[in-house]
Amino acid sequence: NAGVTQTPKFQVLKTGQSMTLQCAQDMNHNSMYWYRQDPGMGLRLIYYSASEGTTDKGEVPNGYNVSRLNKREFSLRLESAAPSQTSVYFCASRDRGSWPQHFGDGTRLSIL
Amino acid sequence: TQLLEQSPQFLSIQEGENLTVYCNSSSVFSSLQWYRQEPGEGPVLLVTVVTGGEVKKLKRLTFQFGDARKDSSLHITAAQPGDTGLYLCAGGHTNAGKSTFGDGTTLTVKP
């Protein structure tokens, strides 16, 4: 039972580098989400996808892009990484008509 | 922006003590979830409450949704070290497609 799988688990980047965070879910959920979690600030929504083929901005979208590749996969891209984007990134999915979200174990990203 | 305020932000207690953490908002939510997050892992759902005044129990944990569906509380009886973690509340709306998360309460239970 994999649930939500995120890769990589850890990454260190230099300022200005680009990278894509991958997320896949095997629960046939329609909605998928990307959050960042900073110390003492809980979870802040970056982007979400209510269904395959749609994406919407969340609370803190600047500096990020997303792609809903298919129903299973939702990727998050940093085009030009900045130190302010150092954080733990969580992907989550949710079934239509059901509120609880299922989270992956996170990607710990450090930008120097 | 709809805000969920959690209190206290940090709580450190001895094993066996009781505690209550709160989740408050000025907005009405269709449902509210409580999650627990352990270090190095993602949040894991504990409970969903949807009806104003609803009370749900999960072993030593009691969750209550306010009558007006704007606030919630989590009460833990006889806390154990295994209860240590970050407790997050999240509120959702039926047609919104997304939830609002509080900043969490970090609970430490000392043996």
HEC string for chain A: CCCEEEECCEEEECCCCCEEEEEEECCCCCEEEEEEECCCCCEEEEEEECCCCCCEECCCCCCEEEEECCCCEEEEEECCCCHHHCEEEEEEEECCCCCCCEECCCEEEEEC
Q: Which of B1, B42, B102 sits opposite A103 (nearest CB)?
A: B42
Q: Per residue of chain A (112 residues), give pLDDT as tens.
A: 679 999 999 999 999 999 999 999 999 999 999 999 998 778 999 999 998 889 999 999 999 999 998 999 999 999 999 999 999 999 999 987 777 889 999 999 999 9
> Which residues of chain A does B30 touch, with a Cβ-Cβ cutoff of 8 Å?
99
Taking an 8 Å cut-off on Cβ atoms, the answer to whether B97 and A48 are in contact is: yes
Taking an 8 Å cut-off on Cβ atoms, the answer to whether B41 and A105 are in contact is: yes
Beta bridge partners of B49: B32
| Tens-place pLDDT, residues B56-81 | 999 999 999 999 999 999 999 999 99
Q: Give B96 or A19, the one with higher predicted confidence.
A: A19
- Measured in angstroms, the CA of B91 and the nearest CA of chain A are apart by 9
